[in-house]
């Protein structure tokens, strides 16, 4: 069981990795007490059997420089294979300024190959590799050293079994001529902007029932302050103040410290830099010119008959996803179906790329009355009109 704790050993290992067509990669990290993930372990395996060609890379080891690993990530002759890659890639994008290229996500590939919605790693290992994954070390503190043998075995299992899963799914995609489908899905994860969190956009994530433009202006200003404060100090957003406290502040619009003291939900931040930031944000929201106030999203009034059409589209989606062996949620979301039913020219993913081929074109033809659906003993059939 190889553990790499020096830059020299890492460089030697990565040089060997570069001679293979692919490597499997996983990470262990902590994020409960920080804004950014703290990378604690990187697992990498070359093609082979068991733990041969697999290693645990310790980024916390004194003097460790991950530059050789990042060079491997940039080597376009080697495919980097992950399962549910987003969080792993975010870590490398933030810490090393690098996004592995090319890379392959077995969760996305499994959805394209008919294994269901956001299928888990353990499920794929059981169904494809015919192995069981030991889950006992899942909720461990990966920042503590030394790692136990049990922890090491668990961590290596995340990349050794992944080799079998990858080879199977890659072959399935090639047989079904769907390799391009997966690449379309991974395009977003390849975009560096995906991993940039801009404080000025923080308000867009808020869920509120109040659509008053002035309320939204204050709430957005508070969200922007919280995001900046959390980023600068590398602490979780809730450590600054939670969403319920933010919405209470936006509603009550405190003007001074005595107003803050009356907040029911603000546990911390009634004094000091958080309090000053809150009061400044509230003032910014309250003094924002009318013309610059954020507007609530326009509610789309459903066209006559669109609800019934939406029901038919859901049946069509299920029929097409079943026929093609693709997870239905990967093809179209509920919001996509609503927009297709209600709008003349909806700009939705379900009408683009491979999705249009599998479902979108059928949806538009159903809406135009060119096809109909028929239910029978063998399921739903599409009838040409």
* Domain assignment of residue 298, yes or no: no
The secondary structure of residue 32, as a DSSP letter, is T
pTM for this prediction: 0.89
* Domain assignment of residue 218, yes or no: yes
Express each pLDDT in 56-99 by its tens digit. 999 999 999 999 999 999 999 999 999 999 999 999 999 999 99
Residue 255 structure tokens: 């003007």
* Domain assignment of residue 297, yes or no: no
Could you say which of 252, 268, 292 is where a domain stops?
292
- Report phi then psi at 384, rounded to 5: -75, 135
pLDDT the model gives residue 262 = 86
- Report phi then psi at 44, rounded to 5: -135, 140
pLDDT the model gives residue 304 = 59
* Domain assignment of residue 351, yes or no: yes
pLDDT the model gives residue 123 = 95
How far is 292 from 295, CA to CA, in rounded Å? 9
The enclosing domain of 316 has a CATH number of 1.10.150.80
Contact 338, 350 (CB under 8 A): no
Could you say which of 162, 195, 228 is where a domain stops?
195
Express each pLDDT in 275-318 by its tens digit. 999 999 999 999 999 999 998 765 545 555 688 999 999 999 99
Q: How confident is residue 211, by pLDDT bands cut at 50, 70 and 90?
A: confident
| Pairing assessment for the beta strands 103-105 and 79-82 based on DSSP bridges | parallel
Contact 84, 121 (CB under 8 A): yes
How far is 192 from 301, CA to CA, in rounded Å? 36
* Domain assignment of residue 220, yes or no: yes
Tell me which residue range forms the domain holding 376: 306-384
Residue 9 pLDDT more than 80? yes
Q: How confident is residue 348, by pLDDT bands cut at 50, 70 and 90?
A: very high
In DSSP terms, 79 is beta-bridged to 22
| Total domains, the chain | 3
């Amino acid at each position: 069981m190889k553990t790499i704790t020096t830059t020299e050993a890492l460089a030697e290992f990565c040089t060997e990795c570069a001679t293979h067509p692919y490597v499997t990669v996983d990470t262990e990290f902590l994020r409960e007490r920080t804004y950014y993930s703290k990378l604690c372990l990187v697992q990498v395996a070359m093609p082979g059997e068991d733990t041969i060609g697999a290693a645990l890379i310790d980024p916390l080891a004194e003097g460790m420089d991950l530059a050789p690993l990042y060079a491997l990530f940039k080597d376009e002759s080697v495919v980097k294979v992950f399962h549910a890659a987003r969080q792993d890639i975010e870590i490398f994008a933030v810490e090393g300024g690098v996004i592995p290229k090319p890379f392959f996500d077995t969760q996305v590939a499994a959805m394209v190959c008919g294994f269901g919605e956001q299928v888990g790693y353990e499920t794929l290992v059981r169904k494809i590799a015919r192995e069981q994954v030991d889950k006992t070390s899942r909720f461990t503190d990966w920042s503590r050293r030394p790692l136990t043998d049990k922890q090491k075995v668990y961590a290596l299992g995340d990349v050794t079994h992944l080799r079998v899963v990858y080879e199977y799914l890659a072959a399935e995609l090639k047989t079904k001529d769907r390799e391009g489908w997966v690449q379309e899905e991974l395009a977003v994860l390849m975009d560096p902007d995906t991993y940039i969190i801009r404080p000025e956009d923080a308000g867009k994530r808020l869920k509120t029932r109040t659509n008053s433009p002035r309320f939204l202006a204050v709430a957005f200003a508070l969200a922007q302050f919280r995001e900046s404060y959390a980023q600068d100090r590398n602490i979780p957003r809730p450590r600054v103040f939670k969403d319920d406290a933010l919405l209470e502040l936006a509603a009550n619009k405190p003007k001074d410290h005595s107003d803050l003291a009356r907040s029911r939900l603000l546990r911390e931040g009634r004094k000091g830099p958080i309090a000053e930031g809150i009061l400044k944000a509230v003032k910014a929201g309250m003094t924002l010119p009318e013309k610059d106030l954020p507007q609530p999203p326009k509610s789309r009034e459903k066209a006559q008959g669109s609800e019934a059409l939406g029901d038919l589209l859901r049946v069509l989606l299920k029929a097409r996803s079943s026929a093609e062996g693709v997870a239905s949620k990967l093809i179209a979301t509920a919001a996509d179906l609503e927009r297709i039913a209600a709008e003349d020219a909806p700009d939705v993913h379900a009408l683009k790329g491979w999705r249009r081929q599998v479902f979108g074109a059928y949806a538009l033809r159903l809406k135009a009355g060119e096809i109909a659906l028929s239910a029978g003993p063998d399921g739903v059939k599409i009838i040409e009109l």
